[in-house]
């Protein structure tokens, strides 16, 4: 009976230690996983919930945003042909709900919708749906429309710039060659006539494409190539000079861009700016309120 007791006492600590090891191993990794998941979980919604448009598309409207930032919370939203109208409408209404007459610490929300010419119709649809939803709740809305242009760097413009640079380099090379020839002629005035005579003589004496000269070598081919390039340069029209390029530069293509500011309060900062159109239902809402009070039939 003693042997089984000793065996039982031996197995008991072993089994307890085993259970303790398993339980400690099971509990240790769980908090780590929870901490990692808890620290990483807020990041994905923040990125997906606020997709901001590129800086280049907002570049023409930086002055407007700078004017409104101190008093309003501006949310830029770009509209593209692949944009879903329902998602943009929901996000715009959520941001415009930042509105409180009594709590001044809550900045009123302003939605900035931008779209290129290919997606202006979709932008107008989003704005109309947002206005209708706000009007159904008998609330005021204010819409400010801006139409401007944004410069685009197309491939044709890049090719034109490269061609102009090449032409400038060719002009500089030609001028350098002419200066070198003039200097050589001034230093050796008789050498030019002898060289011209030899070239003409070799050209007339050639029947099979090679001059009848025992001292013929590859250097003569280089002279022929130079003669051909000089002839083609004389026949082709000269490239435009630097002065002509400065006075008549290539046309820069611009892309029309539309922007709409939506707000539930009037934006007095935009009223004084030019080329801005205002739409609002303020008069209609005031009429409904007076009608409810019995002031208007």
Tell me the C-alpha to C-alpha distance, in Å, between residue 9 and each of 3, 15, 110, 118.
Answer: 10, 10, 75, 83
- Same domain flag for 96 and 163: no
Residue ranges of alpha helices (H) inside 42-119 are 43-49, 55-58, 62-68, 85-96
- Nearest Cα to Cα of residue 96 among 79, 123, 72, 64: 72
The answer on 268 and 147 residing in a single domain is: yes
269 lies in a domain? yes
Same domain, 179 and 142: no
In a domain, 16, yes or no: no
Is 30 among the domain residues? no
Dihedral over alpha carbons 90, 95, 97, 98 (to 10 degrees):
170
What pLDDT score does 7 carry?
Answer: 47
Report pLDDT for 93.
Answer: 95
Q: Are residues 93 and 113 in the same domain?
A: yes
Class of residue 291 by CB neighbours under 10 A (exposed 0-12, middle 13-18, buried 19+): exposed
- How many distinct structural domains can be found in the chain? 2
Closest CA to 123 of 278, 253, 262, 255: 262
For residue 33, being part of any structural domain is answered with no
- Tell whether 168 and 280 lie within a shared domain: no
Same domain, 74 and 212: no
* 102 and 194 assigned to the same domain: no
User: What is the DSSP code (8-state) at residue 151?
Assistant: E
Q: Long-range contacts for 82-90 (Cβ within 8 Å, ≥24 apart)?
A: 83/119, 83/122, 83/126, 85/122, 85/125, 85/126, 85/129, 88/113, 88/126, 89/126, 89/129, 89/130, 89/133
- Contact of 267 with 72, CB cutoff 8 Å: yes
Cα(147)–Cα(274) distance, integer angstroms: 11
Mean pLDDT, the chain cut into blocks of 10 residues (297 residues total): 46 44 46 49 45 55 86 92 94 89 84 90 95 94 82 54 75 82 75 49 48 52 51 54 61 72 92 87 92 85
Which 3 state secondary structure label does DSSP give 283? helix
Alpha carbon distance 277, 144 (integer Å): 6
Q: What pLDDT score was predicted for residue 64?
A: 86
In terms of domains, do 265 and 139 share one? yes
Q: Are residues 188 and 212 in the same domain?
A: yes
Give the structural domain span for 231: 155-247
pLDDT computed for residue 24 by the predictor: 45
- Domain presence at residue 15: no
Distance CA 103, CA 263 (A): 17
| pLDDT of amino acid 45 | 44
Q: Mark whether 63 and 190 lie in a shared domain.
A: no
- Whether residues 143 and 274 share a domain: the answer is yes
126 plus 79 within the same structural domain: yes
Has residue 284 been placed in a domain?
yes
CATH of the domain at 84: 3.30.110.20
Tokens coding 172: 């500089």
């Amino acid at each position: 009976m003693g042997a089984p007791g000793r065996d039982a006492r031996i197995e008991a600590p072993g089994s307890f230690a085993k259970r303790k090891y398993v339980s400690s191993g099971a509990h240790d990794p769980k908090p780590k996983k929870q901490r990692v998941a808890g620290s990483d979980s807020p990041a994905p919604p923040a990125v997906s919930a606020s997709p901001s448009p590129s800086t280049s598309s907002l570049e023409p409207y930086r002055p407007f945003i700078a004017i409104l930032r101190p008093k309003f919370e501006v949310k830029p939203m770009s509209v593209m042909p692949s944009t879903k109208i329902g998602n943009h409408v929901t996000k715009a209404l959520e941001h415009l709900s930042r509105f409180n007459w009594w709590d001044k610490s809550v900045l009123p929300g302003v939605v900035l919708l931008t779209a290129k010419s290919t997606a202006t119709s979709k932008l107008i649809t989003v704005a109309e749906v947002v206005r209708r939803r706000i009007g159904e709740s008998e609330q005021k809305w204010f819409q400010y429309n801006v139409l401007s242009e944004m410069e685009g760097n197309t491939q044709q413009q890049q090719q034109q710039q490269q061609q102009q640079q090449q032409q400038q380099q060719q002009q500089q090379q030609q001028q350098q060659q002419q200066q070198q020839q003039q200097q050589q002629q001034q230093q050796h005035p008789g050498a030019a006539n002898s060289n011209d005579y030899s070239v003409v003589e070799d050209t007339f004496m050639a029947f099979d494409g090679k001059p009848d000269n025992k001292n013929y070598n590859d250097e003569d081919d280089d002279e022929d190539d130079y003669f051909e390039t000089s002839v083609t340069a004389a026949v082709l029209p000269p490239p435009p000079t630097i002065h002509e390029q400065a006075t008549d530069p290539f046309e820069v293509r611009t892309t029309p861009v539309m922007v709409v500011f939506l707000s539930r309060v009037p934006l007095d900062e935009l009223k004084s700016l030019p080329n801005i159109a205002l739409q609002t239902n303020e008069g209609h809402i005031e009429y409904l309120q007076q009608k409810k009070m019995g002031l208007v039939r």
